[in-house]
Structure 1
Amino acid sequence: MPRKTKLIVTLGPATESEESIGKLLDGGANVFRLNMSHAPHDVAKLAAKRVRKLSADRGIHAAVLFDLTGPSIRTGDVDKPHELKIGDLVEFRKSTAQPGTDISTTVNYDGLMDDVSEGNTLVVDNGTLLMEIRSRQDDRIVCEVKNNGILGSRRHINLPGTRLNLPALTEKDHKDLALAVECDADYVAGSFVRDGAHVRELRDAIEALEGHAQIVAKIEDQEAIKNIDAIIQASDAIMIARGDLGIEVEYWELPILQRRLIKRCHELGKRVIVATQLLESMIQNPTPTRAEVTDVSNAAYEEADALMLSGETSIGAHPHRCLEALVKISTRIERSGGLGYGQHVMLRDERQKAAKAAITLVDSLPDGRLVVLTRRGIMANHTAMLRPRTSQFYAFAPNERVCRQLALSRSIEAFHLPFASTIKETIQRAAEYLREQGLVRPGTPLVIVSDIFSDQFTANSILLHHA
């Protein structure tokens, strides 16, 4: 049975070669992520070009996602790592300030001192170091170390529960965004999105560059959780970025929060990605831990649109085994059924209701196949969000970019097809293509749903056609 869950792989030193990208495509990768926190522009540009070429060679519509760094707070460079012990005092200062203690480093956000208060918790390097802010001055803060650890250069800083007045896009983000548009990126991910206005600012920046990328909003802090409905509605997809989010919230709340976010994305009709540490141990090890297998299976059972690998495929020792593990786990859990959040989608217009009727029909046919004719991908996404039981779900679009952007949508296999002047002829072309590809047999019932403009009117139609 075809796999429904889409898979995102992050390219890096372990997977940037043509051979490796080709192997990932053959292994089932749907979307290729370029992490602009680490990827130099020349490397990212070449990798995107390779994905396009190798996908075209295989007749696959794989998507390219540029993940912006966002307004993250990081420590400065240190001559050598500091070995910290409980009770040590560490100073974080503006770049223009001189050191005032033995253990001192700069931060890249000069507004930090204005945003924090004494007694706030400060988390460094994804939770490996916990500190408490003891004193605050105009140009520095001093923190007490709460656990033993090592402080190196350019370590990430989190401030759980503290509202930060960071910009939505940094100067680096704007440069990276220009590269993404130049490479005709299918998706751009905004990091540390905190409200709907941040998403709209990113969309305006893309449009100003005449780009066509859809927006993935990364949910990484408590501020985003408070504004989640506005963020979902302003975005094209949501990424539950569990690394930073798992630091910002109590760790035992994270599984509940993940499930609530997935459900809310279903209700509001937006795609959702589960990311970070899915197979973290496989960066070194050839097999996943049993806990990781359960984590991946839970995300697939919750019927997330996509699962994402980060360090596992960018720097890991077994990138292709990681992808294989995701394929096996998600395919197996799909056979056992899902959580059923597709039943909670809010049907707000005629297109969504037409999609619901089409799914009811196709799910009642033992060998039924679902076919969507879509110009912009909207009807296809509406239909996918309702989570049809059939695993044979095909979308036809006249634009290859639309086909690539559907690579993130659960269940859909998209094909490029120029539309005819009439719906009838377009349906015949689609059915003929499916027969030629061996995806259907003559006489297979096809439930076809469309909202394409044809013969001077827009047709929200459902048709039962036999191949």
Structure 2
Amino acid sequence: MSRRTKLIATLGPATESAEIIGQLIDIGANVFRLNMSHAKHEWARDMSRKIRQQANARMAHVALLFDLTGPSIRTGDVETPYELKIGDLVEFRREGTEPTVPLSTTVNYGGMMDDVAEGRTLVVDNGTLLMEIRTRKDDRILCEVKNAGTLGSRRHINLPGTRLNLPAMTEKDHKDLALAIECEADYVAGSFVRDAAHVHELRDAVQALEGTAQIIAKIEDQEAVRNIDAIIQASDAIMIARGDLGIEVAFEELPILQRRIIKRCHELGRRVIVATQLLESMIQNPTPTRAEVTDCSNAAYEEADALMLSGETSIGKHPLRCLEVLVKITSRIERSGGLGYGQDVLLRDERQKTARAAVTLADSLPDARLVVLTRRGVLANHTAMLRPRTSEFYAFTPKNLVCRQLALTRNVTAFKLPFAASIDETVQRAANFLIESENLKPGTPLVIVSDILSNHIAANSIILHHA
């Protein structure tokens, strides 16, 4: 595989046809995201079927990610959008109450009035409107507009620096999660995760529904940053959701936080996704800005596991071209090397130390290939976290589910392979498969790391085998 960074494409009106989904797979999409903030259930079912059909037709292991809405705060409906001027006063009130000023709208979180304080900042619609809270009452707040703009219906509200007592999951999230499990989602992303307890609640909900989806925690506010270590350890993967996070923190801090979170994910052995506005201008334009190219290059240089496109592929004019651009950028930057955080992974057990030894051996042998035999994908993830330099890195597992979940793991190409009773026979099967599929030539050195049972004995092992 010439590209190590995995790519996530969000589906939407621009990419909902089976033909386009197939083309996205051909270009390099490893994971498809369904954004449940906008998706209807029947549409999500249809997309899930199309993804599986197109992946199966190509014998590709492509993961399905359901991104839950989470406990976001949104404005109510307004008959016509408000054109706001600097100094205007806007009222945000609990549902069921009457307006007291001309510019008034409800909010879907009645507890907001209890959480906020006068003098704090309120941000609307992903930073397009900035306001200062002037007056707080039990059922409403009055805010002064700090920049001109338009306030429409159901706009997202951020309250930087304010601790919100929102639930981890809403009633809608529970319904969407049940659909995700029905559709056999490989990943479920929890939005606005603020501490490890929120991750545990989502995992418990998945297990209660007998689902197999792994958990992605989206880092979107200051409280999540403060609790980052506990959230990383409780999750299967982390998403740096730079849209909301960039509003919640000072914008000059965002690149530092991105790098710090990526580094910590490496150290603690968790996969990490960089998301939001990677190629935002390409929603309209056929070419990226030079700043966007640099941004995507930085994420690849930091050796994130995956980069995610949102509006670029869901509603943009050039969804296929966006993915092609991301393939070109990541492939090129990978040839120039990476930041090397894989050297900082904290090795806590024998399996992780065995993986380190295998990576060191594979990196030291000219033209060697790294192979992992794994039943659950854990060893493959541990090995990938060490960021091996070998050009090809394969994982073999007897389960399709594990193959799909490894679609998010940097640099790994996963194949389904039934394991034999002895590890020697399994190794030979894997080598034969790679030769027959023209992934390598006979005689290529293979460094094989395994923690599977061999003759009913579990052992961490490294085998040097020539195909």
1:382 Cα deviation after fit: 0.2
Aligned position for 2:11: 11
Alignment of 1:270-349 (within 5 A): 270-349=270-349
> TM-score under structure 1 normalisation?
1.00
Query: In structure 2, how many angstroms separate the alpha carbons of the residues matched to 1:258 and 1:453?
Result: 39
Deviations 1:387-429, CA, capped at 9 Å, x for gaps: 0001200000001000000000000000000111110110010
Aligned position for 1:201: 201
Q: Does 1:361 align with 2:361?
A: yes
SS of the residue 1:135 aligns to: strand
Query: In structure 1, how many angstroms separate the alpha carbons of the residues matched to 2:456 and 2:359?
Result: 27
Query: In structure 2, how many angstroms separate the alpha carbons of the residues matched to 1:2 and 1:465?
Result: 23
Deviations 1:262-304, CA, capped at 9 Å, x for gaps: 0000000000000000000000000000000000000000000
Paired residue type of 2:265:
C
Aligned position for 1:57: 57
Query: In structure 2, how many angstroms separate the alpha carbons of the residues matched to 1:164 and 1:218?
Result: 16
Aligned position for 1:29: 29
Aligned position for 1:87: 87
Paired residue type of 2:347:
L
Aligned position for 1:399: 399
RMSD: 0.5
Query: In structure 2, how many angstroms separate the alpha carbons of the residues matched to 1:53 and 1:358?
Result: 36
1:229 Cα deviation after fit: 0.4
SS of the residue 2:358 aligns to: helix
SS of the residue 1:55 aligns to: helix
Percent identical across equivalent pairs? Answer: 77
Deviations 1:294-351, CA, capped at 9 Å, x for gaps: 0000000000000000000000000000000000000000000000000000000000
> TM-score under structure 2 normalisation?
1.00
Paired residue type of 1:301:
Y
Q: Is the 8 A contact 1:220 1:245 kept in 2?
A: yes
Aligned position for 2:452: 452
Deviations 1:174-224, CA, capped at 9 Å, x for gaps: 000000000000000000000000000000000000000000000000000
1:94 Cα deviation after fit: 0.5
1:2 Cα deviation after fit: 1.3
SS of the residue 2:262 aligns to: helix
Paired residue type of 1:383:
T
Paired residue type of 1:459:
A
SS of the residue 2:126 aligns to: coil
1:456 Cα deviation after fit: 1.8
Q: Which runs of 4+ in 1 moved over 2 A?
A: none
Aligned position for 2:174: 174
Deviations 1:130-160, CA, capped at 9 Å, x for gaps: 0000101111000000000000000000000
Deviations 1:3-60, CA, capped at 9 Å, x for gaps: 0000000000000100000000000000000000001101111101111111011010
Aligned position for 2:225: 225
Paired residue type of 1:115:
D
Aligned length, in residue pairs: 467
SS of the residue 1:215 aligns to: strand
1:96 Cα deviation after fit: 1.2
1:99 Cα deviation after fit: 0.6
SS of the residue 1:184 aligns to: coil
Query: In structure 2, how many angstroms separate the alpha carbons of the residues matched to 1:117 and 1:360?
Result: 54
SS of the residue 1:446 aligns to: strand
Query: In structure 2, how many angstroms separate the alpha carbons of the residues matched to 1:363 and 1:339?
Result: 17
